[in-house]
Structure 1
């Protein structure tokens, strides 16, 4: 599984953050690593310097073998929570999709 991290210009500490996000994605999606060919994570700060509720956004696009890509989005007050929320949503979606495939 190849993981690519993209951030907008408002995100600081890109290299450290990138390594942390990569580890979260690998850990969260570990059981699907054989079916996933590529995962793209897009992290952004919607309000830049301004303070606001749920202004951190994480979009994860996953490319699954022999299927159309799927994407999930999660917004939260901090980056860690936004990434964790998006990973959880993707994990639930993949469980549902691949569980149905096994039942056929």
Structure 2
């Protein structure tokens, strides 16, 4: 569970989530492309990438002086697995919400 905690904590930041979404859509990118997309300074983006890397959400590869980043598929798979494992909780919660809303809707119609 410790890895999931780090993963969700890393993705809780809007900038880091934007970076991950960009990498998921466009594939592996150099850090400079990410800088231009998120509109932050290179050091700020570098700090965000470090958090994502340490959480295991992205991987880095060097090619000369450039650093390329991509989403670690195993981290996305872990999120999917966690979500599916907790599916019954979410479904039960939504069922309870539906029941409450239906009850309230009936009370307003009387």
Task: Report the TM-score when normalising by structure 1.
Answer: 0.31
Identify, as 1 or 2, the structure richer in helix: 2
Task: Name whichever structure is richer in strand by fraction.
Answer: 1
Q: Which has the larger radius of gyration?
A: 2
TM-score (norm 2): 0.30
